[in-house]
Amino acid sequence: MNAPPKAIAGASTFVDDRIGAGNFLKRNLRKIFPDHWSFLLGEIALYSFIILLLTGTFLTFWFKPSMGEVTYTGNYAPLYGVKMSEAYASALHISFDVRGGLLIRQIHHWAALLFVAGMMVHMLRVFFTGAYRKPRELNWIIGILLLTLALLEGLTGYSLPDDLLSGAGLRITEGVILSVPIVGTYIAFFLFGGEYPGHDVISRFYTIHILLIPGILLALISAHMILMWVQKHTQMPGKDRTEKNVVGAPFYPAFMIKAGSFFLFTFGVIALLGTFAQINPIWLFGPYTPADISAGSQPDFYMGFLEGALRVMPAWEINFLGHTVALSVLIPALVPLGIIMTGLALYPFLEQWITGDRREHHIADRPRNNPHRTSIGIAGITFYGVLWLLGANDEISANFHISLYTTTWFGRIAVFVGPAIAYWVTYRICIGLQRKDAEVLAHGVESGVIKRLPNGQYIEVHVPPAEDIAEHIRGKKEIPILEGAEDAEGIPPKGARGPLGRLRAKMSRAYGTDHVPLPDGHHEEVHEAEHAGVGAGDRKELH
Amino acid sequence: MTEQNEYPESSRVPTRVIGTPPADAPIVDTDPVRAPEGVPGVIPQDPVKARRAERLVALLFLITFLAGAAFIASYVIFQVGTIDKTATSNYALGGTLALALLSLAVGLTIWVRRIMPKYSLVQERHEMRSDDDTREYVKETFLQGAEESGFLKHRLLRRTLLLAAAPLGLAPLVLLKDLGPLPGTALRHTVWGEPTKDGKPRRLVVEGTGQPIRAADFNSPGGILSVVPEGYEEDLNALAKATLILIKFRPEELKSGTNLNWTYDGIVAYSKICTHVGCPAALYEQTTHHILCPCHQSTFDAADGAKVVFGPAARPLPQLPIGIDEEGYLVAKSDFKVPVGPSFWERGDAEAEAREKAS
Ligand code: HEM
Ligand code: FES
């Protein structure tokens, strides 16, 4: 092809004459995107969000966010003649009277789950590879805002159909709001337009769910993408990859089509789930009434850890001077979420404070190479995971025939002990993996060839590792350590004075000390000398 | 940005077969010596294999076309309505949609992996910060602008501007006030305390059927009913606080926690609204007399004033004083003596206050 087709040439000339788009395209058409499976995780979240926008808009065409009472006369026979809210009736209408309505409803719900799950694993990969480090702290903070908003978005969406299950979630929300000291009662009355459940909350949640939060999400996701575009991707360590370059495929044409196909994959899988995996069958639950509840009801997975926290909490409550602080509600509702979100938000800055590392980082860490960070992450996951499991302790108790109270007690202990154990185990594993890496560089990999030496000894011949693997391993970076030593006059440097300074210096040493330094570049000669005359490949004694 | 990764004009791409890396080999593994000369980082595919891949991709695109057409056909053919019809329509629409999307996705993937070249292009990165000259320029411009605007020099202007902004900033918050009424003492009362039209005590009626309950008929020990106030059977606001759980005991089963004056013939009424965060505490175990809230498993001993025996709820379920009217139907003798449901800031130790008042 010598010239672009007329249609494209004409249109692009038109646009370029008016806004000079050519300059932008010149810089960006061949922008390089590095390749790694874990970079797709964020994309899952992104595409799920797009699917949510599309399916959500479809649903708004029929959904009626009203708590006004109607008598159901639609197609779903078991509920014929039952009094219910207009919201519930319209959700039933979408499910049974609109062609494709049930499908879109289920796709919307599955996409919501995938959206949150995608964000969570994406965030974990950013955390464990240290991709949040300078200059990407802003995108990290945006990400945390996105995750928090997504949880709120899920909560408001879940409440809209006004079935018995969603009402239970709403009731718990109200109870939690009531527990907030001083202003809780007022917030509850303002949110519900008076006493619970009132007649306003569905229409208010509707506005929040379809306008307010999606608008903010859209703005933040755009900012997230722009920053990612400007700062370029991190890349995994490897051959020819440095802090100063990006190695990969160009946006046009390769990445563009890859991204398109990944969007279709995401959509296709969600469509499969929406078709064959029933989700939130609201018609089985019946309309909401505060007097009833279906036993064994479960919230969406991302609310599970809050549910679990509420379940394990002992019954603490303080009364003083005619006021009540319901710690048994307040602590589980705020503390775990607070620890996790605040901890995540502060982590890049705490790490910088401890390591004194102000450099830019574009090569992603392998999790093993920063064992303390990785252990903190796994401890956090364990903390979250224990609470999450506890959110289903009634199911666990029923399925495994363990007493309900035993599971609760187990949870109360495990929520503290579990993370500590996880920390220790992860740390050991990281160090072990680092040893293995050092081993591979120093002695090569087992070739499977056994050799008999003249003196009768058997050895396995080791060959040097493949170049890309070796480069991947050599990508390990040392973690800077603050200068904590005292100078000649016995005065510690500025940052390490006072108790806080000393703690900082100590943590810095613990965080940064490399217990398994990789053999340096010269190891080959050293090694060769040790085993001189034993043949081509490196080798090791057979144990 | 660099231009070093220019895509070569396709005519110049050498079409070599021998020694080209297999399609699925990792890019970095490619021996650079064997890559086609003059085009570092862009490794074309074997044209023969590419043509084979093209046929496969075309087949997949065709499947997408057919599945898309089938989707539209399903919309026309399968009507909804009954559960079965809806299910069929759902499977037909969803199945064809998923097939269309997935087969298109697979097609595009094969296109990228088997027909497009492999890339290992390199692009330079630059530090994010601007250079010192730029920073200096921006700083000076900022200061100059601040100076020119007069914001610094004119103190009155600055202060009155801040003053002017304050009420405007508050206005949106003020506007939100009418979102709801103030709580007042609403959470302290339930409709059990409201006078009835004819001035008689309010009857307890069975949830769902609305039947009043004759004490003499509710006579098998261990029996349990979910109960709502007569006249408010469908008022959700009322039910959210006033729903009861009614249990019949043998007299000797009741312990000191239960106020016997508020029972009638071994029949006790507790608030069904869990004191934790308000779920209906709907499960009852006859043998242990335990009321279990399904939400977070707070467990209350119904024989002993519904005191908490396990779980996160901090207070017993409040007991409602009940008796019978002249026709023998169960009625509320008064409202609850303490607020029902979850704790809230203004609640205080209502139980202690109630005890004080009683003694
Ligand atoms: C609405 C939800 C989100 C969407 C749609 C989204 C999307 C993406 C995408 C597509 C990328 C590039 C691919 C990748 O690195 O995986 C990215 C990069 C990034 N995301 Fe997100 N993300 C979301 C949430 C989050 C969250 C929850 C965090 C962390 C708290 C986060 C932090 C980051 C960071 C720091 C980068 C840059 C990393 C790099 O360049 O390698 N994002 N995001
Ligand atoms: S609402 Fe009853 S235990 Fe939480």
pLDDT in tens, A255-287: 999 999 999 999 999 999 999 999 999 999 999
Query: In this model, does residue B24 exceed pLDDT 60?
Result: no
Of B37, B43, B40, B28, residue with least CA distance to B4: B40
Considering the domain boundaries, does residue A409 fall inside one? no
Whether residue A131 is found in the same domain as residue A230: yes
Q: How far is B134 from chain A (nearest CA, A)?
A: 18
User: What is the tens place of the pLDDT at every residue in B180-233?
Assistant: 999 999 999 999 998 888 888 999 999 999 999 999 898 888 889 999 999 999
Does the pLDDT at position B33 exceed 70? no
Asked, for residue A345, whether it belongs to a domain, the answer is no
Helix ranges, A401-519 (H): 404-443, 467-474, 498-512
Q: Are residues A23 and A151 in the same domain?
A: no
Distance of CA A292 to the CA centre of its chain: 35
The whole-angstrom separation of Cα A314 and Cα A413 is: 12
Mean pLDDT confidence for A114-119: 97
> Which secondary-structure segment (H or E) carries A461?
strand A458-463
Chain B, nearest residue to A472 by Cα: B28
Mean pLDDT, range B98-104, rounded to an integer:
98
Task: Give the residue, by CA position, lying nearest to ligand 2 atom 3.
Answer: B296
Whether residue A19 sits in one domain with residue A139: no
pLDDT of residue B176: 92
Look at residue A152 and tell me whether its pLDDT is greater than 90. Answer: yes
Distance CA A135, CA A370 (A): 19
Inter-residue contact B276 to B295 (CB < 8 Å): yes
- Output the CA torsion B173→B177→B180→B181 (10° steps): 150
Which residues in chain A have Cβ-Cβ distances shorter than 8 Å to B282? 292-293, 295
A193 and B179: CB-CB below 8 Å? Answer: yes
The residue ranking higher by pLDDT, A25 or A269, is A269
Render the burial of A73-110: b for 16+ CB within 10 Å, e for the rest: ebbbeebeebebbbbbbbbbbbbbbbbbbbbbbbbbbb
In 3-state terms, what secondary structure has residue B332? strand
pLDDT of residue A521: 52
B229 forms beta bridges with B204
Average pLDDT, chain A: 90
Which 3 state secondary structure label does DSSP give A459?
strand
Measure the CA–CA gap between A481 and A473, rounded to whole angstroms. Answer: 21
Q: Do A329 and B123 touch (CB under 8 A)?
A: no
Contact (CB<8Å) B5/A249: no
Inter-chain contact A322–B101, Cβ cutoff 8 Å? no
* pLDDT for A296: 65
Among all chains, which residue has been given the structure tokens 């299950």?
A: A165
**What is the domain range of residue A59?**
42-236+248-287
**DSSP helix/strand/coil, A83:** strand
- Supply angle C-alpha A471, A477, A480, rounded to 5: 170
Q: Which residues contact B271 (CB under 8 A, 6 or more apart)?
A: B241, B243, B244, B245, B317, B318, B319, B320, B336, B340, B341
Ligand 2 atom nearest the C-alpha of B274 is: 2
Say which of A102, A257, A471 has its CB closest to residue B111: A257
Which residue from B7, B111, B312 is facing A313, i.e. has the nearest CB? B312
Ligand 2 atom nearest to A171, measured from its CA: 1
According to the model, what pLDDT value does residue B9 have? 39
Which amino acid is residue B208, in one-letter code?
A: G
Q: Do residues A179 and A300 lie in contact, with contact meaning Cβ atoms separated by under 8 Å?
A: no
| Residue A456, pLDDT score | 87
Residue B32 in this model has a pLDDT that exceeds 80: no
Q: What whole-number distance in Å separates Cα of residue A73 and Cα of residue A27? A: 60
Q: How many C-beta atoms surround the C-beta of residue B275 within 10 A?
A: 30
* Contact (CB<8Å) B345/A182: yes
Q: What is the pLDDT of residue A446?
A: 83
- How far is Cα A116 from Cα A122, in angstroms, rounded to an integer? 10
> What residues are paired with A71 via a beta bridge?
A83
Compute the mean pLDDT over every residue in chain B, rounded to the nearest whole number: 88
- Give the model's pLDDT for residue B313: 95
Q: What is the dihedral of CA A129, A134, A136, A142, to 10 degrees?
A: 100
Q: Say what the pLDDT of residue A495 is.
A: 65
The mean per-residue pLDDT over the stretch B23-45 comes to 58
Q: Contacts of residue B83 in chain A, CB cutoff 8 Å?
A: 76-77, 96
Q: How far is B285 from A406, CA to CA, in rounded Å? A: 18
Give A506: exposed, middle or buried? Use CB within 10 Å, 0-12, 13-18, 19+.
middle
Output the pLDDT for position B158.
93
How confident is the model at residue A2, as a pLDDT? 80
Q: How many domains are contained in chain A?
A: 3
Does residue A116 fall inside a structural domain? yes
| Within-domain flag for A259 | yes
Chain A residues whose CB is inside 8 A of the B120 CB are 240, 247-248
Confidence grade of residue A200 (pLDDT, cut at 50, 70, 90): very high
Optimal mutation site among A76, A166, A264, A473, interface B, most CBs of chain B within 10 A: A264
Would A221 be classed as within a structural domain?
A: yes
Write down the pLDDT at residue B75.
Answer: 97
- Helix A137-159 vs helix A213-231: angle between axes, to the nearest 10 degrees? 160
Does residue A93 sit in the same domain as residue A193? yes
Distance CA A283, CA A535 (A): 75
Whether residue B28 lies within 8 A of chain A, CB to CB, comes out as: yes
Q: Are residues A187 and A110 in the same domain?
A: yes
Mean pLDDT of the B160-179 span: 92
Q: B239 and chain A: CB distance < 8 Å anywhere?
A: yes
* Residue A432 CB neighbours (<10 A): 13
Q: Which residue owns the Cα nearest ligand 2 atom 4?
A: B296
Q: Which atom of ligand 1 is nearest to the CA of A141?
A: 30
State the maximum Cα–Cα separation within chain B, in Å, rounded to a whole number: 105
- In this prediction, residue A451 carries a pLDDT of 86
* 3-class DSSP assignment, residue A464: coil
Same domain assignment for residues A10 and A76? no
Q: Which of B225, B272, B271, B266 is nearest to B248 (CA)?
A: B266
* Cβ contact, residue pair B280, A290, below 8 Å: yes
A454–chain B nearest CA distance, Å: 37
Determine the pLDDT at residue A3. Answer: 86
Peptide bond connecting A197 to the previous residue in cis, omega within 30 degrees of 0:
yes
B137 CB within 8 Å of a chain A CB? no
User: How many angstroms separate the CA of residue B151 from the nearest CA in chain A?
Assistant: 31
Phi first, then psi, for residue B33 (nearest 5°) are: -65, -30
Report the atom number in ligand 1 closest to the C-alpha of A132: 35
CA-A137 nearest atom, ligand 1: 35
Which ligand approaches the C-alpha of residue A363 most closely? Answer: 1
State the Cα–Cα distance between residues A187 and A210, nearest whole angstrom.
22
pLDDT of residue B31 exceeding 60, the answer is no
Q: Find the residues whose C-beta lies inside 6 A of ligand 2.
A: B 274, 276-279, 281, 293, 295-298, 311-313
Residues A124 and A193 in one domain: yes
Q: Is B89 on the interface with A (CB under 8 A)?
A: yes
pLDDT of residue A542: 39
Sign of the torsion angle spanned by Cα atoms B35, B38, B42, B43: negative
pLDDT digits (tens, 9 = 90+) for A335-382: 999 999 999 999 999 999 999 999 999 999 999 999 999 999 999 999
Confidence grade of residue A485 (pLDDT, cut at 50, 70, 90): low
Closest Cα to atom 15 of ligand 1? A39
Burial class (CB in 10 A: 0-12, 13-18, 19+), A122: buried
CA distances from B125 to A243, A244, A250, A305, B129 (A): 8, 5, 15, 41, 12
Instruction: Give the mean model confidence (pLDDT) for residues B98-102.
Output: 98
Residue A206 lies in a domain: yes
pLDDT at A326 over 50: yes
Amino acid letter for position A56? G
**SS3 label, residue B103:** helix
| Residue A318 CB burial class (10 angstroms; 0-12, 13-18, ≥19) | middle
Cα-to-centroid distance, B291 and ligand 2 (Å): 11
Residue A331 counted as domain residue? no
Cα–Cα distance between A217 and B107 in angstroms, integer? 31
> Dihedral sign, CA of A80, A81, A86, A88?
negative
Share of chain B above pLDDT 70, in %: 89
Both A172 and A129 in one domain: the answer is yes
Q: Among the listed ranges A1-5, A249-253, B170-174, which one has the minimum average pLDDT value? A: A1-5
Contacts of residue B10 in chain A, CB cutoff 8 Å? 1
User: What's the rounded Cα separation, in Å, for the pair A504 and A497?
Assistant: 9
Q: What is the distance between the alpha carbons of residues A511 and A310, in angstroms, rounded to a whole number?
A: 34
Segment B207-221, tens digit of pLDDT = 999 999 999 898 888
Asked whether the beta carbons of residue B112 and residue A332 sit closer than 8 angstroms, the reply is no
**Total residues found in chain B within this entry:** 359
The region of weakest confidence among A205-209, A266-270, B43-47, B55-59 is: B43-47
* Banded pLDDT at A522 (limits 50, 70, 90): very low
Q: Tell me which residues of chain B, numbers 50 to 69, contact chain A at a CB-CB cutoff of 8 Å.
A: none
Q: Are residues A25 and A152 in the same domain?
A: no
Residues A220 and A137 in one domain: yes
> In the predicted model, is pLDDT for residue B8 greater than 70?
no
The tokens describing B34, both together, are 């064997």
- The reply to whether residue A324 touches residue B346, judged by beta carbons under 8 angstroms, is yes
Find the mean pLDDT for residues A15-25. 91
CATH number at residue A98: 1.20.810.10
Co-location of A176 and A62 in the same domain: yes
What's the sign of the alpha-carbon dihedral A86, A91, A96, A97?
Answer: positive
Q: Which residue does chain A place closest to B116, by CA atoms?
A: A254
The Cα A387–Cα A311 span in angstroms is 9
Same domain, A138 and A75: yes
pLDDT band at A253 (very low <50, low <70, confident <90, very high): very high
In a domain, A311, yes or no: no
Q: B260-265 contacts: CB < 8 A, separation 24 or more?
A: B261/B321, B262/B319, B262/B320, B262/B321, B262/B322, B262/B333, B263/B322, B264/B215, B264/B322, B264/B323, B264/B324, B264/B330, B265/B215
